Structures are given as C-alpha cells and as structure tokens.
Amino acid sequence: MKQIKKMTQMELAAFVHSHLRKLGVDVVLSGGASVSLYSGNKYVSKDLDLINIRLVKRQKIKSAMEGLDFLERGRHFVHPDSEFIVEFPDGPLSVGEEPVKKIDEIKLPTGNLRVISPTDCVKDRLAAFYFWGDRQCLTQAVMVTVDNRIDLKELERWSKAEGKLREFQTFKEMLK
C-alpha cells in the first residue's frame, strides 16, 4: 500500500472512503475536492468533504479515522503525514433544496471513491454563488463546466426551481 504522505488528494480520499465503507460508514465526496477532481486541479482544495449520508454517529467515524492514524482537531481530522484535512459534514447529500441526483464511483489504486457527479458539483458551486454571493464558487462552477460534460438544461431547471434564473444567466455569460 502506498504511504499516506505520497498519496494524492484523490488517492487519500479513496483510501479513507474504502476504509470507512468496510466499517459500515457511507460517505460521498463533495465540495472543493470534487472541484479539484473535475477541474484537473485547476482549483486546488486542501480539504476532503466526505458527506456522512447515513448520519453515522461521530464517535464511529472518529474511531475509524483513528484506525488510520488521523487525529480529530475540532470538526476536522488531520494526519501527520498529509497536507489534506478530512471533514464529515452530515447529510442529506443535497444541492440547494434538492437531493444530489447522481453519484459516480472512481477506482483508484488506494480504493474506490464515491463522488457527486460533475453536474451536481456545478450545482453545489452555483448554490454558494446563488445564496451567499461567492464569486470564487461561480468561477469554480465554470471551470468544472468547461472540463466536463454538464447537463446545462438540468442546471437551468434546477436554477429555476431555486428561484435563481437571473444568477444562472450570469453563469451562462461566463461560459462564453
């Protein structure tokens, strides 16, 4: 097995995910790390948001992470040999008011990793722009859209359901 200090962000995510899955903890990668994945690291995130989709008790997650030599620091877990931090936000796994529609599974040498789809990744970033005015997340949504097959009709439908069609137009203008 590859040493943790030599693992890429996604290899570490797959390693942690596979370990947790064996212990009955179901998580899905979301947030900035999914942007890193789908943008080919044009955006770099130093954290891994593994959404706890079955609402497993924190103590079970803590015990599992300690089994990998991660230490709990506030709401994050850190490993002495890694620059990446791991966080376990509670579910539900959603974007805005809707559940995530598609979860992809990626096979890596360190294990399998479940991650939100590129289209749901864009929704996640657009939600931060729509509701908090986060322009960096708008830029990330554009990065992911340019590098992946994104369902723009679904994005428009979702944006309308969120009451954010005007903001969606801003996103479309940035794609030009």
Q: What distance lies between CA 90 and its chain's CA centroid?
A: 13
**1, pLDDT greater than 80:** no
pLDDT band at residue 136 under the 50/70/90 scheme? very high
Domain hosting residue 145, numbered range: 119-175
* Domain-terminating residue out of 94, 117, 140: 117
* Domain-terminating residue out of 85, 117, 149: 117
Position 38 scores a pLDDT of: 97
**169, pLDDT greater than 80:** yes
**14, pLDDT greater than 80:** yes
Compute the distance between CA of residue 92 and CA of residue 76 in angstroms, rounded to an integer: 19
Q: Are residues 95 and 108 in the same domain?
A: yes
Compute the distance between CA of residue 67 and CA of residue 172 in angstroms, rounded to an integer: 45
Contacts of 135 (CB under 8 A, 6+ apart): 129
Tens-digit pLDDT profile for residues 43-98 = 999 999 999 998 889 999 999 999 999 999 999 999 999 999 999 998 889 998 89
Q: Which of 53-57, 118-122, 139-143 has the lowest mean pLDDT?
A: 53-57
Give burial (CB, 10 Å; 0-12/13-18/19+) of 15: buried
Position 90 scores a pLDDT of: 81
Q: Are residues 110 and 140 in the same domain?
A: no
Position 55 scores a pLDDT of: 83
pLDDT band at residue 25 under the 50/70/90 scheme? very high
Q: Are residues 94 and 22 in the same domain?
A: yes
Compute the distance between CA of residue 116 and CA of residue 119 in angstroms, rounded to an integer: 8
Q: Are residues 77 and 163 in the same domain?
A: no
Q: Which of 70-79, 95-104, 115-124, 151-160 has the lowest mean pLDDT?
A: 95-104
Report how many domains make up the chain. 2
**What is the residue-averaged pLDDT of the chain?**
95
**No. of H helices and E strands in the chain?**
7, 9
Any idea which residue has 């877990």 for tokens?
77
Q: Are residues 111 and 26 in the same domain?
A: yes
Q: Are residues 130 and 150 in the same domain?
A: yes
Q: Are residues 14 and 94 in the same domain?
A: yes
Q: Are residues 169 and 103 in the same domain?
A: no
Paired strand residues for 115: 29, 104
Instruction: Give the CATH number of the domain where residue 52 resides.
Output: 3.30.460.40
Q: Are residues 142 and 76 in the same domain?
A: no
Contacts of 70 (CB under 8 A, 6+ apart): 16, 77, 78, 79, 86
- List strand residue ranges (DSSP E) for 11-160, in order: 27-30, 47-52, 71-73, 76-78, 85-87, 94-95, 98-99, 103-108, 111-116
Contacts of 132 (CB under 8 A, 6+ apart): none
Q: Are residues 125 and 43 in the same domain?
A: no
Answer yes or no: pTM beyond 0.85.
Answer: yes
Q: Are residues 95 and 128 in the same domain?
A: no
